[in-house]
Structure 1
Amino acid sequence: MIYHIKVPATSANIGPGFDSIGIAWNLYLHIYIKKDESHKDDIRIINKNKINNDLFIKAFNETINYINKKPSNYIIELWSEIPIGKGLGSSASAIVGGIYTAEIITNTYLNLHEKLNIALKFENHLDNISAAINGGINICLKNEKEIYISKLPINYDFWGLLYIPDYYLSTQEARSILPHNYKREDVVFNLQKFGILISGLFQKDEKLVKMGLDDKIHQPYRFELIKEYPLLSKEVEKHGKKIVLSGSGPSLLVLLFNEQEALEILEKLENNLKEALKGEFKLLKIEHNGITLEKLN
């Protein structure tokens, strides 16, 4: 029997939703689990390409210790489509994948609260974690007393047009440039915009969504770290769209609600900017299901 786990990529911090909202996309970390009787009392983890292997192993071992079972005779193969350090939740996918892999090979089911508690030991961003687990659009709450996630009941499709630069940007660097204090009017601005964004997503109202993507808490500071932003933002505005950060960057994201329009804008951006930009464009679709498991044979 071979088990195949898929963990989706995620975009967090959408517009004014700093540390509050995450979206899952149809780009995946693939995990293949199979029995291996030739290696007694052993679990082999094989990394097929560059992923956050260390985080996967840490989350896997933490979950095994929590479950308190000692599995053996398994080969675990990892292969990821999600680029590292690009604001697409590669860390969250590795952590969530490690937890679910431990569940499968120990034949144990953990409740959501248990999974979140383990995941948060290695990844402090609940927006990415919740979207990787649940799929769709997730709103999250995390403070000293409360941990809560809620998946929005949205069943329509939309697309994320991403520009992925050819360089990395660490979350630590992206956070270090943020101010420690904010003006009250800027906080109120973000609260109002976030409400408009959520209302627009519920109603599938693209005008409201666009209106709700403005932010004064994190994006104005982080855009300064992304050299392509001024040019790309200007080009996107020609199509009546607005660009936001995916996670803490450096990837940039445009939300689109019509597939044909998304394909046309993608083609125009690639043609117009191919000489000026060294990164790549990628058109992704919302992943409604989150992490999935299938038996291959």
Structure 2
Amino acid sequence: AALSLKLRADLREGNLPGIVLTAHGEGAADAESAGSDSLVVRAFREGLRVAGGPPGGNGAWRIEVSSMIPAARGLGSSAAAIVAGLLLGASAGRLPTTADQLLALAARLEGHPDNVAAALYGGFTLAVMEPRDVTVRRFRVPEAWIPVLFIAQAESHTADMRAALPGRVPLPDATNQAARAALLATAVLTSDASLLRAAMDDRLHQPYRLPLLPGAAQLIQIAYDIGAAGACLSGAGPSVLAICDSPLTAHSVEKAWNGAGHQGMATRLRFDTAGARLNAAEPRE
């Protein structure tokens, strides 16, 4: 699902050959220190390539990024950076590109389509990576659902969280998880928030990651005690997401989380329904 945490990227003509990246906001230092290896720059080159632009990103380009998505918190900052870079690169090429083409590129850069699909299309998305492309469907966001996010101060890295997972899982857990995935899709399609608690009871990831993320399990329990419809780790953590079906419950979860004594900040957000947007720059006088 796409949340209302935004990343903005602007492409301008540079003064010198090459790609110059400047970043502001969350994760700015990491983005600028990565330079030509940053996800935005790598994705920009890929977008430029598929759209028939100069090979290797040749030219004089200046990319300015402003992000409100904290990095290494399980919030999809890398997916947003990839989608932004691809859109900018494709816009500077000569050939038209489709959203499905960009999604396939984004999934390869990210390693999976889950977060890039939501960043590109908005709303709730279901994406499956095929050998040659990505099958994706976008679903309408139930109007009454309100996301509340606890943004942890601590960082966790995807590689470490993946290393915590076992190489094999018990067959009952796998079959149970498949049923819960179907239940989650049903909850979204029918706007039935009463299904979320069972649907979001993950058996493949959370049992192995929660012991490594102090306070996360308690935050999930607090959300349920107050009346949240569903709660889980956001991505690989350490941030936590709750979905509430009333403004009063959402306010109560936000207040309780902020008063729980954990390092971080709780905030009510919206589900983003627009997805990535490309706007032409205003002409300068």
Q: Residues of 1 paired with 2:179 and 2:142: CA distance?
A: 25
In structure 2, the CA distance between the partners of 1:143 and 1:72, relative to structure 1 (3 Å rule), is closer
Map of 1:26-41 to 2, 5 A cutoff? 26-35=4-13, 39=15
Deviations 1:111-143 (A, max 9, x none): 234213322332112010100000000001124
Q: 2:241 aligns with which of 253, 270, 278?
A: 253
Determine the structure 2 residue equivalent to 1:283.
268
Determine the structure 1 residue equivalent to 2:226.
239
Q: 2:255 aligns with which of 264, 267, 282?
A: 267
Q: Residues of 2 paired with 1:144 and 1:85: CA distance?
A: 28
Please state if 1:85 is matched with 2:75. Answer: no
Give the TM-score normalised by structure 1: 0.83
Q: SS in structure 2 opposite 1:292?
A: coil
In structure 2, the CA distance between the partners of 1:171 and 1:192, relative to structure 1 (3 Å rule), is same
Runs of 4+ with deviation above 4 angstroms: 40-43, 71-74
TM-superposed deviation, 1:43: 4.6
Contact 1:25 1:286 in 2 (8 A): yes
Greater helix content: 2
Determine the structure 1 residue equivalent to 2:93.
106
TM-superposed deviation, 1:73: 5.2
TM-superposed deviation, 1:148: 0.9
Q: SS in structure 2 opposite 1:44?
A: strand
Contact 2:141 2:271 in 1 (8 A): no
Deviations 1:83-132 (A, max 9, x none): 00111111111111110011223354312342133223321120101000
The residue type paired with residue 170 of structure 1 is H
TM-superposed deviation, 1:187: 1.4
**What is the number of equivalent residue pairs in this alignment?**
270
* Structure 1: 5+ residue stretches without partners: 1-22
Q: Residues of 2 paired with 1:217 and 1:226: CA distance?
A: 16
Contact 1:56 1:98 in 2 (8 A): yes
Contact 1:155 1:288 in 2 (8 A): no
TM-superposed deviation, 1:145: 5.9
Q: Residues of 2 paired with 1:176 and 1:43: CA distance?
A: 34
Map of 1:188-203 to 2, 5 A cutoff? 188-203=175-190
> Is 147-156 or 134-143 further displaced after alignment?
147-156
> Is 220-229 or 129-138 further displaced after alignment?
220-229
The residue type paired with residue 47 of structure 1 is A
The residue type paired with residue 185 of structure 1 is P
TM-superposed deviation, 1:57: 0.6
In structure 2, the CA distance between the partners of 1:293 and 1:68, relative to structure 1 (3 Å rule), is closer
* Structure 2: 5+ residue stretches without partners: 32-37
> Is 259-268 or 182-191 further displaced after alignment?
259-268
Contact 1:157 1:286 in 2 (8 A): no
TM-superposed deviation, 1:72: 4.4
The residue type paired with residue 28 of structure 1 is K
Give the TM-score normalised by structure 2: 0.86
Alignment RMSD, CA only?
A: 2.2
Greater strand content: 1
In structure 2, the CA distance between the partners of 1:205 and 1:72, relative to structure 1 (3 Å rule), is same
Contact 2:73 2:156 in 1 (8 A): yes
